[in-house]
Structure 1
Amino acid sequence: MQHFWWYIASLAAGLLPFAIASEPLVTLPYGSFQGNTSRSVTSFLGMPYAQPPLGNLRFAPPQAPEAFDGVRLATSYGAACLQQTGSPPQGLTIKLSSLADVSEDCLFVNVLTPAAVNTSNKLPVLFWVYGGAFVEGSSASNPGNIIVERSITLGEPIIFVSFNYRLNAFGFLASEEVENAGLTNIGMRDQRFAMEWVNKYISSFGGDPDKVTIWGESAGAFAVGLQMIMNNGDAQGLFRAAIMESGSAYALRNVSAAQGYYDLLVNYTGCSGQADTLACLREAPAEQIVEAVNLTPTTFNYTGHNLAWQPRLDRDLFVRNPQHSLLMGLYTKVPIISGDCDDEGTLFSLGNLNITTDEEFLQYIGSNYIPGATPAEIAAVGAAYPDNPSLGSPFGTGDADVLTPQFKRIAAFTGDWQFEAPRRLTLSVISQTQDAWAYLFKRGKSTPYLGAYHSSDLSEFFTDIDYIGTDALINFVTNLDPNAPAGLPANVSYLSGIQWPRWTSGNVSPSLLTFQDPIPTFNFTSDTFRAAPMALLTALSLQMP
C-alpha cells in the first residue's frame, strides 16, 4: 500500500484525467519519443531498443540503437518479428490468431505507465515476454493497459514493459557453423538486451531499474526460466523477481540436434555450394528463409514439443542441462511465482492422431522426447501413463474426449513432461532459498478435447474477468508477495483477506491457488497429483546432457 497515498494525491491534484492536453515526451540518450495518453495510462509504443537486425546483423547479437535527431512518434506498436505459419491441426476447437504486420526490422519495446507518473516516482516494473513456441508471437498481442489501470486502482501503480524478440530461424538458428561463429540463441540474447535497455532507461519513464519483475507465458515462461539459468545464474541485477506462466527451465537439446534444419535452409536458399553458408544465409531474401522455416515442424505437428527452433545447449549461454544448473544452485536467487493449466498437453497432441496403439505410443515418446532412455525406462513411462482414457488429459473427464485411442494418454504425458514436472522440480529447488508461490488453472474443463488447455489462462491476467490473477501479479511486482496488502478493502479485490501460502519443499502437500469454474471461484489444492509419474519423468529428464 506504499503507493496508495500517491494515488489519492494524484486524484486530488487532477493528475489522473481521462484525457491529457499535452502529449507525453521522453528523451533518451539516443533520441526523443512522443507517446500518447488515454484515460489513466500513458503509452510509448514501438520504440527501437536495438538496431534493425538486417544485413550483417541478421543472426547477430543485438546492437545498441543508432542516435537520431528530432522527435519520433511512439503511438503504435512496431512490426512483429517474422513468424512461422502452418495449418491448424485436425480437431482444433479454438481459433488461432494471425499477425499481419511483420518484418525483419522488429526489435521494438513498449512502455506503459500511469499517466501521473514522473521520473521521481521510481515505480516497480513488470517486464512481459510473450509466448509462441519460439516461432511466433508479438508484444502487441497482449497489451498491458488493463494491468496498469488496475495497479492504479489498487494504489500500487506499476509500469508495464513489453518487447519483440527474434523467432524461428532468425532467433534460434543452430548448427555447427552457427556455434563456431558464436551466434547461438540470438532470441535469448535479444531478451537479455531488452532487459539491459530497461535497466538503462526505465528511470526516464518513472520506473525503478532495481524493481523489475520478468514474466512470461509458454515459450516466454520457458525463456524466463532459462534467463534465470543463463551465465550460471548471473542476471547482473536486471530483475528482482520472476513469474513463469506455463513453462519452466527444461532439458535443452544440443546444437547438433538442429543441424538438419540449418541444412534445410542452406539447401532451400541455394547456399549449399558456398564456402561460408552462414554468410550466404545472411544475404538470402527473408521471404525465402520464411518459406524454408514453414517446411519445418511446429508444435502442432508429429514432433510436438521437440521443437525445431528453440534455445540450445551451446557451450556459451547454456553449458549444461538447465535442470542440472538448478540442482547445482546456479540460478538467479529471486522470488518466483510458477503455475500451469490443468491440461497443458492437449493442444500439442492434436498432431499425433495417427498414434493409435500402445506400441506406437512407446515408440513415439522414446524417439521424440527421451531418445536416451532404455527400453525398460520407456516401458516404465508407459506404465506410469497407462492406456486408460479415464486417467488421461483432459484430466477428470472420464471416458469423454477420446479423440483417438491414445490421444488422452499422449496429452497427459506431454503436459507433464514439458510443463508440470519441470515446474515442480523448479519449485522444489528454488523454494529452498527463495519465497515461491504456485497456482493451477482449471477453468474451462468442459472445452471439447482440450479441457483447461495451454494458454487458456491468459485472459485471467490480461482482462478484467475477475482481476484475481491480475491483482496477484501487481501485488507480487510491488511487494514481492502475491497476497493483498493488509488493509485493502474486501470490495476492491477478491484476494483481500485471503492468504495464499508459499510453496515449500519441506511441505508434503504444497498449496496451489487453483482457479475453478464458475468465475470468480478459486480455492487451494495440494500439489501432489501424479507424484510418482512426474518423479519418473524428472529422473529421465535429468539424464539428458
Structure 2
Amino acid sequence: MVWATDTANHVQIGLENAPPLVVLDQGKVRGELRNGVLEFRGIPYGDDVSGNRRWTRAQPAPGWEGILDASTFQPACAQAARYGITESSTNENCLHLNISRPWVPGEILTNTVPRPVLIWIHGGSFVGGSAALYRLDRLVREMDAVVVSINYRLGVLGFMPHPGFDTQHNGGYALEDQRLAMRWVKNNIAAFGGDPDNITLAGESAGGASVCMHLLAPEQTQDLFHKAIIQSAACSFALRSVNEQNAFGRAVGETVGCTDPDNAVACMRQIPAEKLIEAGDKVAGSDLMAFAPVFGTETLPRQGLNSLQQGQFVRVPVLYGGTRDEMRLWVGYAAQAGQSVTTENYAEALQAVYGDNAALIEKQYPPDEQGSPAATLGSVMSDFRPDNGINHCQFIDTAYTLAHHVPVYFMDFADRNAPVLGVSMPASPDPGFELGAVHSSELNYFFPHFSNNSRLDAPDLQPASHSMSELMISSWARFIRSGIPQADALPNWELFSSRGQAMRFSPDQIDTFSPAKEYRCDFWRNLYPTAFSDL
C-alpha cells in the first residue's frame, strides 16, 4: 500500500482504495469505505453525561490516545423501544456523531475545493431515534456533500425541566447537545473536506423542530449554520414555558421516589435511566407536549411565534416542507392498536381533539371526504391540530412569517404510494385505510432503504418515485450550495412570499400549487386565530 501524507492539513490518505487517517485536536481518526462513500462513525463530540453529569450542559469530549476506529456506530442515547421498530437503550455516554463524505481515490481531503456540509438532526418525538438510523450514502454521493448526523439526549434526560436544575439551560440539555455538535462541526469539518462557512442545518419532525429552536435563538447559534431545511415541524407552534413545565419534572421525580425537594436532583441522578424513562412515559400519558422544548431560558429565551413576528431569529435561507398526509400516521397507529375510526365515532374523534369546534369542523370535512372516516380524520389533523406542531397550516404560517425577512422556499411531499408499512410503522396489522404520504414517509426518498437498522429497511422505490426522489435530492443539493432549490428539471420554483406558491412532489406530476388554499388555512385561522401570526 502506498501512502501520501499531508501533515500541514492533518490528513493522511491512501493512494489506493484505503480509508484515510484524519488528525484532529482530539486525536487521530480512521474511517471506512462503505457503500461507495467514506464514513466516520461514532466520533465523540461531547463528554459523558451520566451520573452526576446528568441534567448538566455537556462539555466537549476529551481527546484519546492512538487511533480512533470510526468504523462502528456507537449506541443510541437512552430511550424506550417505540412501535416495535426502534430499539431501547440505557446508554448515557452517547454524544457521538457520524460523518460521511464522497470517496475519490487519491484525493487529499483538505486539498480539494471544500464541499458544502449538511448536519442532519434525527426525529423521534424528542424521546427516540438516533444518528445511526439513517443511511447517508445516497445524499453524500448525489449532493457531492459532507453529511453529518448527531446523537443527542432524549426524553427525561434531554428535554425534561425540573425546578432543581440550573436556570440557564433547564429543560434544554438536548438542544445544548446539538449546539455543542454544531460547534464541533464548525471547528473540525474542514479536516474532512467540508466547508465550515457553508453549513446547512436540517431535520425532520422533532429534528425539524430542533432546527426551529436553533433558528429562534440567534444569541446562541449565530454563525453556526448558514441555511436551514425544516421538514414537518412548525416553528410557530406554541411551546410551554419552563416554569409551567417544571411541574412535569417534579412529578417524574416523585414517581421514582425522589420526593424531598432539597435533594430531589441528587436522588434522581442515582436512579437507573430505564426507570426514569418508564416514569416519564407514565407521567406524560397521552400529553403530546410532555417532552417538547420549553422557552424562558438562555437555551431558548422566547416563545417561537413572538420571535418570528419580531424578526428575532438567525437570518438564513430556509427550505420548508411537509408531507401531504402527515397525521394519518397516528390514525394508523391507533387503528393497529384496535382504535379504528368509523362513521359512527368520527364526530367523537373530532371532539376529542377539537372540543367545541368539532361540529364546525365536521361540516368542513365530512367523514367520507377522503374515502373513509379514518383517512379524513388524518387529513383534518394534518391541516391543523391545536395541540401538535405537525400540521400544514402552521408550517405555512411559519414560512410566511420567516419570508418577511429571509428567502423561503416551500415543498410538499405528495407520493401517496410511498412505502409506509414496515418503514414508518409496523408492517401489520393492516390499518384498513389509505395511509398516503404520511409523516416521515419522505425520508426513504433521501436515505436509500431509509436506515442502517434492518427493521427499518424500506423496499426499493417504484421507478416514478425513484425519479422523483432524484429531483428532491437535486433540489437539496442546489439549496445547500446556493440557498435556491431550483433543480434543472423542475418548474419555476418561486420564493414563498405573498403568492404562497409551493412545489409539490408527486410521481404523477411535479408542479407548483397553493398550499394555504388546499389545506384550508383561512378556515383554521378564523377558528384558532391565536395560533397564527398577525403579520
Give the TM-score normalised by structure 1: 0.80
Partner of 1:369: none
The structure-2 alpha-carbon separation of the partners of 1:340 and 1:84, relative to structure 1 and needing over 3 Å to count, comes to same
Structure 1, residues 3-28: CA drift from partner, whole Å, max 9, x if none? xxxxxxxxxxxxxx999543311111
d(CA) in 2 for partners of 1:79, 1:414: 34
**Alignment pair present for 1:255 and 2:246:** no
Tell me the CA shift for residue 389 of structure 1.
5.0
The structure-2 alpha-carbon separation of the partners of 1:288 and 1:359, relative to structure 1 and needing over 3 Å to count, comes to closer
**Alignment pair present for 1:512 and 2:502:** yes
Tell me the CA shift for residue 408 of structure 1.
5.8
The one-letter code matched in structure 1 to 2:436 is G
d(CA) in 1 for partners of 2:16, 2:391: 44
d(CA) in 1 for partners of 2:279, 2:415: 38
Tell me the CA shift for residue 500 of structure 1.
3.7
In the alignment, is the contact (CA less than 8 A) between 1:144 and 1:160 conserved in 2? yes
The structure-2 alpha-carbon separation of the partners of 1:20 and 1:139, relative to structure 1 and needing over 3 Å to count, comes to farther
d(CA) in 2 for partners of 1:36, 1:430: 40
Show structure 1 runs of 5+ residues with no match: 1-16, 89-95, 152-156, 367-377, 485-495
Which one of the candidate residues 100, 103, 125 is aligned to 2:91?
103
Structure 1, residues 502-537: CA drift from partner, whole Å, max 9, x if none? 233222xx222112245xx42222222213124236
The structure-2 alpha-carbon separation of the partners of 1:292 and 1:126, relative to structure 1 and needing over 3 Å to count, comes to same
In the alignment, is the contact (CA less than 8 A) between 2:320 and 2:409 conserved in 1? yes
Superposed, 1:387-426 pairs within 5 Å as: 387=363, 390=366, 398=369, 400-403=371-374, 409-410=380-381, 412-414=383-385, 418-426=390-398
Superposed, 1:145-184 pairs within 5 Å as: 145-151=137-143, 157-178=144-165, 180=167, 182-184=169-171
Structure 1, residues 115-137: CA drift from partner, whole Å, max 9, x if none? 23511332110110110110001
Tell me the CA shift for residue 231 of structure 1.
4.3
Superposed, 1:83-482 pairs within 5 Å as: 83-85=79-81, 88=83, 97-99=85-87, 103-116=91-104, 118-120=109-111, 121-151=113-143, 157-178=144-165, 180=167, 182-231=169-218, 235-249=221-235, 250-273=237-260, 275-297=262-284, 301=286, 303=287, 306-349=288-331, 351=334, 353=339, 356=345, 358=347, 361-362=350-351, 364-365=353-354, 379=357, 383=360, 385-387=361-363, 390=366, 398=369, 400-403=371-374, 409-410=380-381, 412-414=383-385, 418-444=390-416, 448-463=433-448, 465-466=466-467, 467-482=470-485
Partner of 2:67: 71
In the alignment, is the contact (CA less than 8 A) between 1:386 and 1:409 conserved in 2? no
d(CA) in 1 for partners of 2:145, 2:527: 39
The structure-2 alpha-carbon separation of the partners of 1:386 and 1:181, relative to structure 1 and needing over 3 Å to count, comes to same
In the alignment, is the contact (CA less than 8 A) between 2:231 and 2:320 conserved in 1? yes
Show structure 2 runs of 5+ residues with no match: 1-12, 421-432, 449-460
The structure-2 alpha-carbon separation of the partners of 1:122 and 1:102, relative to structure 1 and needing over 3 Å to count, comes to farther
Structure 1, residues 425-477: CA drift from partner, whole Å, max 9, x if none? 22112223322211111212698253221111111222372312111111111
Tell me the CA shift for residue 404 of structure 1.
9.9
d(CA) in 1 for partners of 2:257, 2:308: 42
d(CA) in 2 for partners of 1:212, 1:402: 43
The structure-2 alpha-carbon separation of the partners of 1:332 and 1:382, relative to structure 1 and needing over 3 Å to count, comes to farther
SS at match of 1:140: helix
d(CA) in 1 for partners of 2:444, 2:183: 29
Which one of the candidate residues 517, 522, 531 is aligned to 1:541?
531
The structure-2 alpha-carbon separation of the partners of 1:412 and 1:329, relative to structure 1 and needing over 3 Å to count, comes to closer
In the alignment, is the contact (CA less than 8 A) between 2:384 and 2:392 conserved in 1? no
Structure 1, residues 399-430: CA drift from partner, whole Å, max 9, x if none? 52324996665555439963212211221122
Tell me the CA shift for residue 59 of structure 1.
1.1
Give the TM-score normalised by structure 2: 0.81
Greater shift after overlay, 464-473 or 191-200?
464-473
How many residues are treated as equivalent by the alignment?
A: 476
Q: CA RMSD in A?
A: 3.0
The one-letter code matched in structure 1 to 2:229 is I
